[in-house]
Amino acid sequence: MGEGSLTIDVHYSALNYKDALALTGSPGVVRKPPLIPGIDCAGVVSESSDPKVPSGTAVVITGYGYGENRHGGLATRVMADAEHVIPIPEGLSLQDAATLGTAGITAGLAIRALEHHGVSPDSDLPIAVTGAAGGVGSLALALLSHAGYRTVAITGRTDEAEYLTLLGATDIMSRQEFLAQPSRPLLPEQFAGAIDQAGGEMLATLLASTHSNGVVAACGLAAGSGLPTTVLPFILRGVSLVGINSVFQPQDVRGELWSLFAGANLPLDQISQVIDLADALETAPRVLSGLTRGRVVVKVRD
């Protein structure tokens, strides 16, 4: 079970891209095998030696190395440190918390990064979101829409147009069409900012298409870890490239994001697909192949 001042009865976890890598035996996620994967966990504290988080508290954990270097949420119980949990705010259920999870935190951090660099809903151009039908992409679209942004959902699955529109996407562009643009360091300015899950050619094309002084938040590597670009978007257009890391973030930043989620009335039921714990292993390859939509929430107990 490992160590920690709290024992948590896990109700829901999720299959993040990282969890899918861990469950399919890809190297690099599980640092200390044997280990229970699951970077997200929503549950109820059943035992506590820390008065700050008494037993009975409904909590959510994302990041901090759970499912990577200590046992994670894909189990009925997890040992946790009181400093790592966020009490689930009123208005969100345990299932909602798992639907948001790491993907919600990542999307929320990316939007904060855009705004920190001056992007706002009043910007003349929309925000591009890649991997739009995936977990981070879906939540980024929903949160941007809630905040009043216009968005372009870039997706390999244009047949999900109805779903993406329901999340608030203003426009939908196929990934193929986006990548068919000439491979130039600077392209016509199409976006005030971008939230990217893909890396590689997608990220390079976003940088080339971002408005002067715009910002691109790099979250993922679904297309690859390379970045075939030049310095021109940075030095000729003042574009900023900001990295997003959801694993290590101060608790006050996490707390602010969870409060925002609780007040946002996001379409979480439409974003989540719930599976049983017993089905996690066979679902993991589908996550890596981009065949699952939105968030795959794992029901661990009734």
Ligand X SMILES: NC(=O)c1ccc[n+]([C@@H]2O[C@H](COP(=O)([O-])OP(=O)(O)OC[C@H]3O[C@@H](n4cnc5c(N)ncnc54)[C@H](OP(=O)(O)O)[C@@H]3O)[C@@H](O)[C@H]2O)c1
Chain residues that interact with ligand X, rule: CB under 6 A: 16-18, 102-103, 106, 130-137, 155-157, 175, 197-198, 202, 219-223, 244-247, 287, 290
- The distance of closest approach from Cβ of residue 246 to ligand X in the complex, given in angstroms and rounded to an integer, is 3
C-beta of 58 vs 202, nearer to ligand X: 202
- The distance of closest approach from Cβ of residue 154 to ligand X in the complex, given in angstroms and rounded to an integer, is 7
- The distance of closest approach from Cβ of residue 50 to ligand X in the complex, given in angstroms and rounded to an integer, is 27
C-beta of 45 vs 128, nearer to ligand X: 128
C-beta of 45 vs 284, nearer to ligand X: 284
3-state secondary structure of 288: helix
Closest residue to ligand X using C-beta atoms: 134
Contacts of 123-126 spanning 24+ positions with Cβ under 8 A: 123/192, 123/193, 123/211, 124/192, 124/211, 125/189, 125/190, 125/191, 125/192, 125/211, 125/214, 126/150, 126/151, 126/152, 126/170, 126/171, 126/191, 126/192
3-state secondary structure of 202: helix
- The distance of closest approach from Cβ of residue 106 to ligand X in the complex, given in angstroms and rounded to an integer, is 4
Q: Which token pair is 299?
A: 């029901």
- The distance of closest approach from Cβ of residue 116 to ligand X in the complex, given in angstroms and rounded to an integer, is 16
CB atoms within 10 A of CB 222: 20
C-beta of 58 vs 141, nearer to ligand X: 141
CB 75 within 8 A of CB 300: yes
C-beta of 43 vs 220, nearer to ligand X: 220
Residue in the block written with tokens 């997890």: 78
Q: CA 248, CA 38: separation in Å to the nearest integer?
A: 16
